[in-house]
Structure 1
Amino acid sequence: MAKKLTFDNWNNTAQEKLNSELSDFMDVIKWAFQSYEDKIIYACSFGAEGIVLMDLIAKVNPRATIVFLDTGLHFKETYSLIEKVKDRYPKLHIKMAKPALTVEQQAMAYGDKLWERQPNLCCHMRKIEPLQQELKGVDAWFSGLRREQSVFRKNTEYINKDNKFKRVKICPLIHWTWDDIWTYIDINQLPYNELHDHSYPSIGCEMCTLPVKSGLDARSGRWANFEKKECGLHQA
């Protein structure tokens, strides 16, 4: 198998070779930890995909580092789930990565409810900048992206060159369907965000997430009043 890739030694031919050789999601996770050891983190949103990928990661490396981008604006159900996960996986290192400014400080500097006026700026300060800080000490990061989630994600590979964060982004679940995710959660009796039971397939900050009507795109409840479906973490 091709040697590990880093952003600085990136080679498209090596990437293609790796993506053709890695046979399934567990193969990807095992390869990632063998290649990057402690120089890889998982940035987890604690959605349904996140819980599944965390469980799979824990099977390979029970002491892996999981980073949650704690904007200070998440649903109480999300914070409650994180506590349940900590109890279930006591060896995992779950880190709450916070923005430089509290919600109150942001309101003082930029005005109240920035997410209603400039959601891209709010996401940048509360998600993108904290992840940039967390990625400084590693070569790669896991993401729970799936191809069927949206048109923005349909071309995601197992191993990706992340030009935004200048790291390697590894996505083991690209071929999983929404039904696959829930079958795995049910079989393994995993804890999950109870908002999923109330028409929230994709869960972000409370102020920017609405329930989704049956038959609509899973991410249509995110930033519903804007031409925006991504927080920017997965866009170049």
Structure 2
Amino acid sequence: METIGLIAAAGQATRLSPLPGSKELFPIGFEPHPETGEPHPKPVSKYLLELMREAGARQVYLVIRKGKWDIPQYYGDGSQLCMHLAYLIMNQPYGPPFSLDQAYTFAKDKTVVFGFPDILISPPDALKTMLAKLQATQADVVLGAFPVQQPHKWDMLEFGEDGAVKHIYPKPKQSKLRYGWALACWKPAFTEFMHQHLQQVLAWKNKPDKAFELSVGAVIQAAIDNGLQVQSVCFDSGTSLDTGTPEDLQAAIRNYS
């Protein structure tokens, strides 16, 4: 089954606002310039694209909102990454799951790898390792779990036997749990579940107000509640560094410079 990447890049970056451009293109660290080989600024989202490429995804769909034209202008068709990139426009403005569902027609019969474009992850083969577990088990979803120091910034995971995810706790004020999730891969069964679940959410809400926003973690929890199998890979020596707040962005710049 073909593996594709999905990236929700429709956020407004309110915690970092104002910015001169899309947060997904904010430079973190350096890479060799493709022509000169000299150190060149590297946009934060490129790290995720490289993770997806390492996992075997050659087709990636980025869902953006109107006005974030600097993302397709920078990446173009993806040839600089030896990948094929396509761009979709967000429709329902109620959070990342709705952005991901914009790619439903293209993703419904594919294996999907997913990550957040403003989170820096190691090891570089994390998604590849997770895909191997997805293919080797009966799981519908596999989450990449990382030890985190600030649970209130993460969706924290409670595990059952053999690494199965029993419950996802969204950004708890206090928690004794150790791992938060930052990457995911899934089979078509979850893509279909998310598509149907989001339609139900909109029906329940009738006309959601502007403050309503649903998280990917909440949809995965709903999938667990409905019997889908969610497994995990814990990267004990790995790292996940969010760049979505000024203080975290400062830490990322220090670590990658």
Q: Common fold, TM-score beyond 0.5?
A: no
* Structure number having the greater strand percentage: 2
Question: Higher helix fraction: Structure 1 or Structure 2?
Answer: 1
